[in-house]
Amino acid sequence: MSEIIEVSSDWLALREAEDARARSRELARAAARRLRSGPIVIHDLGSGTGSMMRWLAPLLPGPQTWVLHDWNPSLVDCAANGAVPVDRRGRPVSVHTRSGELAQLDPDDLEGASLVTASAVLDVLTSDELGTVARACVTVGSPVLLTLSVTGKVRLDPPDPRDDAFAAAFNAHQERLVGGRRLMGPAGAALAQRLFLEAGWHVRAVTTLWRLGGHDPLLVEQWFDGWWDAALEERPDLEVEGAQYRATRSTQMRRSALAVTVAHTDLLAWP
């Protein structure tokens, strides 16, 4: 068993509305057009508490069964015990959960899949794990919708001469070694695209943006804190400069005078 990287359910809840706003509806509609008619089964990989299901279920026909896969059982339990979303015609979906590591994902784990999804997951996988996921998807042959993979590009407004050093340190931290696993960080989306193209699949990619700022002060503050902490963990030598930088940005956040754009890629792949 690998060392689990804990993601807090509070953080997933805080970001859920912005995730929902940012994900590409155009790709969701394109995925819906590729579904066979009749009951559908959606497997969501690295589901956390089910944010992807709550966003996508109402955009798809039904009846729907969702199978939520995550290595953290406490997160999928939240999804299983929470409010059940409805499909495009207002019918409640069925929800099943599976605890397990994506490193061991087998085509049989995607039984009956009409669609495979994942959101904000590729950056925390290794290249081998993503290879395993892509092979399982290709064997099963249903369309795959991979949303909100970070690209490493962020823009803070107003700009500050220290932004680039912190962004570079954060991106290096995203590619860190955890329990012997080298995470892909911002390279995840490009590798996924390549793996599906090499399998002879079609891929559509759309840039999707988180826009953080004064309308959700807690989200921008927590995003900045996490970004800054990770950058300093990677580059402890930035500590002194980092304290001044944080003070500047904190003042701006208190005045609702900081806007942040975080770029992602959404991918739809199909055979």
Ligand X SMILES: C[S@@+](CC[C@H](N)C(=O)[O-])C[C@H]1O[C@@H](n2cnc3c(N)ncnc32)[C@H](O)[C@@H]1O
Which residues form the interface with ligand X (CB under 6 A)? 7, 12, 19, 46-48, 51-52, 70-72, 75, 101-103, 119-121, 124-125, 129
- Residue 21: in which H helix or E strand, if any? helix 9-22
- Residue 118: in which H helix or E strand, if any? strand 115-119
Choice between 40 and 79, CB closer to ligand X: 79
Smallest gap, in angstroms, from Cβ of residue 122 to ligand X? 9
HSE, side-chain direction, 13 A CA sphere, residue 56: 30
Choice between 48 and 62, CB closer to ligand X: 48
Smallest gap, in angstroms, from Cβ of residue 144 to ligand X? 14
Choice between 7 and 165, CB closer to ligand X: 7
Smallest gap, in angstroms, from Cβ of residue 11 to ligand X? 8
Q: What is the DSSP letter of 180?
A: T
Smallest gap, in angstroms, from Cβ of residue 247 to ligand X? 28
Choice between 35 and 103, CB closer to ligand X: 103
Choice between 46 and 143, CB closer to ligand X: 46
Helical ranges in 141-238 per DSSP H:
163-174, 188-198, 217-234
Backbone φ and ψ for 90, nearest 5 degrees, come out as: 85, 10
Please state, in angstroms and as integers, the Cα–Cα distance from residue 44 to each residue in 67, 83, 120, 238, following that order. Answer: 6, 17, 11, 38
